[in-house]
């Protein structure tokens, strides 16, 4: 059993530091967290409270994007610039299962253009399906290791309609920008019970470090993390709020 009341989450150029008013008990073997509620209550609440599930999805999107932007390099060792695309269907395809299958075929075709057949599944991406006003499915996708390829080639691989390439070159915190843009419609009822986003395998993960500041060692470790973050990054966001189960929570975010 591990006990902590603070943690740092490092996702690429973004450092998040969270301090909790109460200790959290974590079973190391199962990775299950206890905060004073029963496991059954937790599971029931997660099933019934969709907003909390969506909040976690937004966090995961933001951290995944931040961890992978600039984290992949080409054969010369240069970091890939992330590419943010919107894919639409000319035909009014409303069936998400049909649309998702076409997206998977698009990824295979694009992978064949970029890599040899053996490595065609090497593309790294995160994608969110949304519905247009007419009901048709469209996709927002960010590629983390897609080299330069002509727009016409990408459109031919998609073959279902228009493609828009969105500029994100001058955004400081790409994870926050893209996740806000991507996740605005996650609560769409048509996505209920379905995956509201999906991603390729093998993406880089955020680094999570947990501390127990009730011990001298844990307090010193957290102070070191905060000092380092303040020295090498700018604080872009801070909020303090009350939680029903963890009392006062302080959240800080720094961007390198």
Question: pLDDT tens digit string along 91-149?
Answer: 988 898 999 999 999 999 999 988 876 666 789 999 988 888 888 899 999 999 999 99
Instruction: Please give the Cα distance from 141 to 219 (Å, whole number).
Output: 40
Q: So what's the pLDDT on residue 192?
A: 67
Handedness of CA 63, 65, 66, 67 (dihedral sign): positive
Compute the residue count for the chain.
256
Q: Is the pLDDT of residue 174 over 90?
A: no
Instruction: Please give the Cα distance from 123 to 178 (Å, whole number).
Output: 18
Q: Is the pLDDT of residue 47 over 60?
A: no
Mapping DSSP to helix (H, G, I), strand (E, B) and coil, where does residue 104 land?
A: helix
Q: Is the pLDDT of residue 51 over 80?
A: no
Question: pLDDT tens digit string along 57-69?
Answer: 888 988 999 999 8
Question: At 36, phi and psi to the nearest 5?
Answer: 105, -15
> Of 1.10.357.10, 3.30.750.24, 3.30.70.1910, 1.10.1060.10, which CATH number belongs to 80-199?
3.30.70.1910
Q: So what's the pLDDT on residue 191?
A: 66
Q: Is the pTM of this model over 0.95?
A: no
- Selection from 10, 66, 58, 55 nearest residue 181 by Cα: 58
Q: So what's the pLDDT on residue 75?
A: 87
- The segment(s) of the chain belonging to CATH 3.30.70.1910 are 80-199
Q: Is the pLDDT of residue 38 over 60?
A: no
Q: So what's the pLDDT on residue 27?
A: 75
Question: At 108, phi and psi to the nearest 5?
Answer: -65, -45
């Amino acid at each position: 059993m591990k006990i902590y009341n603070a943690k740092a989450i490092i996702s690429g150029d973004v450092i998040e530091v969270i301090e909790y008013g109460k200790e959290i008990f974590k079973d190391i073997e199962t990775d299950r967290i206890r905060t004073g509620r029963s496991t059954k209550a937790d599971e029931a609440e997660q099933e019934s409270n969709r907003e909390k599930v969506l909040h976690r999805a937004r966090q995961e999107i933001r951290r995944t994007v931040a961890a992978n932007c600039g984290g992949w390099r080409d054969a010369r060792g240069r970091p890939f610039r992330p590419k943010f695309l919107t894919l639409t269907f000319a035909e009014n395809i409303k069936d998400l299962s049909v649309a998702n299958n076409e997206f998977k075929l698009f990824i295979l075709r694009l992978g064949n253009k970029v890599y040899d057949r053996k490595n065609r599944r090497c593309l790294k991406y995160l994608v969110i399906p949304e519905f247009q006003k007419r009901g048709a499915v469209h996709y927002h996708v960010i590629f983390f290791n897609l080299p330069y390829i002509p727009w016409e080639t990408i459109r031919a691989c998609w073959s279902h309609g228009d493609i828009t390439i969105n500029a994100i070159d001058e955004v400081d915190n790409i994870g926050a920008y893209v996740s806000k843009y991507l996740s605005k419609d996650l609560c769409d009822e048509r996505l209920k019970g379905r995956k509201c986003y999906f991603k390729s395998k093998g993406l880089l993960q955020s680094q999570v470090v947990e501390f127990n500041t009730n011990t001298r060692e844990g307090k010193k470790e957290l102070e070191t993390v905060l000092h380092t973050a303040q020295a090498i990054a700018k604080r872009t966001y801070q909020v303090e709020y009350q939680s029903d189960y963890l009392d006062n929570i302080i959240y800080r975010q720094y961007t390198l």
